[in-house]
Amino acid sequence: MENRQNEVTMDRPEAKKVIFSGVQPSGMLTIGNYLGSIKNWPALQDDYRCLYCVVDLHAITVRQEPAELRRRTYETLALYMAAGLDPERNILFVQSHVPAHAELAWVLNCYTMFGELSRMTQFKDKSRKYATNINAGLFTYPSLMAADILLYQTDLVPVGQDQMQHIELTRDVAVRFNQVYGETFRIPDGFVPKAGAKIMSLAEPEKKMSKSDSNKNASVYILDGRDEIVRKFKRAVTDSDTVVCRGENKGGINNLMTIYAAFTGKTDGEIEREFEGRGYGDFKLAVGETVADALAPVQERFRALMADKGYLESVMKDGSAKAFAMARKTLSKVYRKVGFTQPKV
């Protein structure tokens, strides 16, 4: 698709470009969530105006235990900050605390084609996985995601490779709306981190690491203890070869090299030289220890934050107020353009 970033040229008072992203508070977050998104966010907070959301509305497309969902919401926000996000330099908030997300999603549903939604890979995958609960929310999930992004006149969306299809749909819907009503939405771009963008299962390297995987040895969670992390990496599926290098039919080793590179910053060549003449056992142990060492300070900060629920709620309240103010500007513009009446308050 051609770059349509400049199709909307609305003036914006702040000079910095806007970044928006978020993670669902469903299940325990994995190192895939960490490397694919959360770990990369702090590096952006000085150069961009960043909004990071706990996307609880998206989470209920799959049945959730209410008490657990509430707990995970606090935990996800705490993990954002434990990973390095400063609430003074970012807008951190919970999606359901800003009603404009759901309100704009309905409008965008009316400008998103059935065929577009039916082609979404994630809908097809989740429909197979949750065959007894193929609900309308699961189908229109991309419209809500588009609303999340477009509400804040977002320029860039840090996403994993599996979400790029949703970004393309968001761009298509925004362009369609702009063509009908004139300049309304900025056209966002997605970008994927160069390293660690897609982390695969330790048990089945051909599929993505998932926080909902029933095999707990397949995923390494951000909050796993050191012994548990090392144990999981020792059990990681590899192949019959013994040479640590990338190659065809070496999905397990390729994945471990990706993880090791993401945590250490080393290139494939450096990793291959480091483990030349050493077997897979040494490599898996080194990866496990490296991951555990890297996550230890994050876990320590997380525990301190979770011990102060009042502080977490103050961050939620402040962030949602800031997000609400930004979102209402866009929503009011959309409502006016589609013809809704808006009595003065």
| Catalytically annotated residues | 126, 208, 211
Q: For tokens 């998206």, what's the residue?
A: 58
Give CA–CA dist 147/107, Å, rounded: 9
Angle between helix 136-150 and helix 121-129 axes, rounded to 10 deg: 140
Give CA–CA dist 272/323, Å, rounded: 46
Give CA–CA dist 101/42, Å, rounded: 24
Q: Are 41 and 79 in contact (CB under 8 A)?
A: no
Nearest Cα neighbor of 94 from 74, 116, 79 is 74
Strand, helix or coil at 191? strand
Q: What is the DSSP string of 56-104?
A: HHHHTTS---HHHHHHHHHHHHHHHHHTT--TTTEEEEEGGG-THHHHH
Give CA–CA dist 324/100, Å, rounded: 7
Q: For tokens 């048990």, what's the residue?
A: 203
**In the structure encoding, which two tokens stand for residue 244, read together?**
């640590």
Distances (CA, A) of 23 to 14, 106, 208, 249, 250: 26, 21, 16, 32, 30
In degrees and rounded to multiples of 5, residue 279 shows phi and psi of -85, 180
